[in-house]
Amino acid sequence: MTAWHEKTAAQIRDAVAAGAVSAAEVTRSYLDRIEAVDGRIGAYTQVWRDEALAQAEGLDQRIQAGEAVGPLAGVPISLKELICTTRGFTTCSSRILQGFQSPYNATVTEKLIAADAILLGKVNMDEFAMGSSTENSAVQKTANPWNLKCVPGGSSGGSAASIASATSAISFGSDTGGSIRQPAAFCGCVGLKPTYGRVSRYGLVAFASSLDQIGPLSRDVTDAALAMNVICGKDPMDATSADLPVEDFTRALTGDVKGLRIGLPKEYFIDALGSEVRALVEASAEVLREQGAEIVEVSLPHTDYAVAVYYIVAPAEASANLARFDGVRYGFRHSDAGNVTEMYVKTKSEGFGPEVQRRIMLGTYVLSSGYYDAYYLKAQKVRTLIKQDFDRAFAECDLILTPTAPTPAFEMGAKSDPLEMYLNDIFTISTNLAGIPAISIPCGLSATGLPVGLQLIGKAFDEATVLRAAHCYEQHAGLQMGAPALG
């Protein structure tokens, strides 16, 4: 009997479209898998069993009637809690949005439904996407399927855990400072952050509007390309979405990197980089060299400032975006208040978790009178310098290769210092500040059996080259990582 949860999205789509299996059978296989293993993982915050089966049965009827089907026909997917859906709730894993039902679907949700993907449910995240471990969720803890004592990364930890535990074929997360790529690295899957503007943000609950981007997490690079074919494109509902034609990214998966110049930035191979991670990433570069790429050294001299700049710009934007959650318009409202001011204070104090409150206060401070020029304006100027670093580097190479995270996944509760936690995103933040695409793909296991991720960074709107090189590595690296022992 075929275990459909072990198949890739491309294999499922081909089998469903050809009539070799019904979408309902595949959906039941995934729903049974969720029931069997997710109690130990905690990836899902809500599962839409009846709705998913009804959607799959409707698709089967259309296939039997000879109708054309979409490019993700029958593929079971999950969505991060901050992507709006009229089905279920959109809570951002926060108490302040508990029970909130969106009156509309995000553009990405609409595109996935139109592509005949099957929506299984929503997955856990750090509250309002603020965190690197999914320990900040107000809903539940999510475990790393490779080691249940470890975090899955964040903030798209539920998405990554659902792929690693084979409870969804593709999951969709958001990346503000590495929130797709870092959990993908920790959980041994593929995670792609597209260029800012490639994918509509309409219906994505905003954390930091100039940094947020929706992207896919998947089992392999081919599935990431399939997902990108569906979700990209200009959206009249999002003025920041780019007016570019939707490419067929699967055509870029040629299996070779001949003629590409790949840069290794010396500022990323620092003392904070674990020796195991360094060895695996350097070996990955050698694989691409053997396949015909030229490896060159490049410099990104303002890298040291990226974390500081990010933690000024992102909280500043978050403090403005989260002002709307005041107990009047959405979700939770404190019931014991004597006047409006007291209601605001009690609602926000109890509705937001400590990390969200910390960032709102930080953002409000850097935007306040007398400090705007000293902090926010200066950070924006340094952000421009970081962007110019990449422009100069890409004059010398086609791609940049780096580690995704300094270490493999750490144990839950191991990092109580916020500053120590922020440094987990040290290798991913710069690409969000520059607005360029990057992918994390597995490049091996540590001595303790935890996945390690390799990051490939591309020029703006050149996801095709990013996917091409990632696919080539995947085809020729000879990795035998196996799967988490979940039964």
Q: Which residue numbers are catalytic?
A: 80, 155, 179
Which distant-in-sequence residues (6+ apart) come within 8 Å of 73 by Cβ?
13, 16, 17, 23, 59, 63, 115, 116, 117
Q: Measured between alpha carbons, how far is 479 from 473 in angstroms, rounded to an integer?
A: 10
What are the structure tokens assigned to 483, written together? 């799967």
What DSSP line would sit under 269-320, residue for residue?
A: S-TTS-HHHHHHHHHHHHHHHHTTPEEEEE--TTGGGHHHHHHHHHHHHHHH
**Residue pointed to by tokens 């109708």:** 67
User: CA 90, 94, 96, 102: dihedral to nearest 10 degrees?
Assistant: -10
Q: Check: CB of residue 188 under 8 Å from CB of residue 159.
A: no
Length of the chain: 487
Q: What angle do CA 421, 428, 219 make, to 5 degrees?
A: 100
Q: Is 188 left (phi over 0), alpha (psi -120 to 50) or beta?
A: left
Q: Report the greatest alpha carbon distance in the chain.
A: 71
Rg (the chain; Cα; Å) = 21
Strands 190-193 and 214-218: antiparallel
User: E-strand spans in 418-460?
Assistant: 438-445, 451-458
Instruction: Report the candidate in 53, 203, 200, 221 with the shortest Cα–Cα distance to residue 121.
Output: 53
What are the structure tokens assigned to 312, written together? 């000024």
**Residue pointed to by tokens 């009178």:** 369
Q: Measured between alpha carbons, how far is 342 from 216 in angstroms, rounded to an integer?
A: 41
Classify residue 391 by its DSSP letter. H
CB-neighbour burial class of residue 1 (10 A; exposed 0-12, middle 13-18, buried 19+): exposed
Q: Check: CB of residue 87 under 8 Å from CB of residue 52.
A: no
Indicate the helix (H) or strand (E) that contains 64: helix 49-64
